[in-house]
Chain A
């Protein structure tokens, strides 16, 4: 395992942090990503109903297979069309 020296001021934790959650969903478009695991669509259907009820725009996306990472084209499409992603990860 290679080791690199941190070039920064080390004011941030060494672990990469997740992006901050948005303060509100208003005005944002949510990507609902089905990774092609069974019943992921059931979960996302319910979420989409609730988002719609909140007046939040959403779009559905689907990975061809859960066994591989999302294709670049799909990631680019989501990034171009949406502000955040909710992924249905499990059966």
Chain B
């Protein structure tokens, strides 16, 4: 083989590598782009290419109780999961990052477990547990707001603990000690010194808690009830029987909510730098 044909082959290889990389990126993005695109089609029956564009599908989607209520429920659960994860997770992260005690690794593993146990297995277990509790106490949990809330706090908690711990490890304890030595009491020190320093971690934890709660499928699947169905499950249930621009519009609404969460948190921490 002569030199120029060899170089040509290498150039072909490089082009192929770039093509595969770009195709993979397109592949990952394709379903999102297509679903947003399809939500604006004016066709009565969803088909390609579109005959025209309209925003009617969003109005129709909103008029369907299951989607409107699902949207509001998911929003409510997401906010609840975020607040409770912060309330429980930030102190836990503080303890894990600051103190050294026997069994620290084990406690960390316990707190990460909700992220590790597959959703479908955990969902099944929580469902069985809730029904057993219902039978014994007659408190309805499956299909109730408290039941769903507990599951969603569990979904968000490990993310909050993990991201806040990571940001606290980066903070020098001496900075806090400096504040204490300057006469600030521990509470003032926490709010004036520690909290601002770990704010990016807290914002990241809050954002991830909200998103993983909002998009959760497997755990919620077991716990939703009549009149109380989260948005992703409403989408999945609908998709089992229908495929039209209404569902594309609903999916686009979910995309918009998450995009909004990303934009709000973008001021405080950079998503792309947390990987």
**A, B from the same assembly:** no
Residues of chain A having any CB pair with chain B under 8 Å: none
Residues of chain B having any CB pair with chain A under 8 Å: none
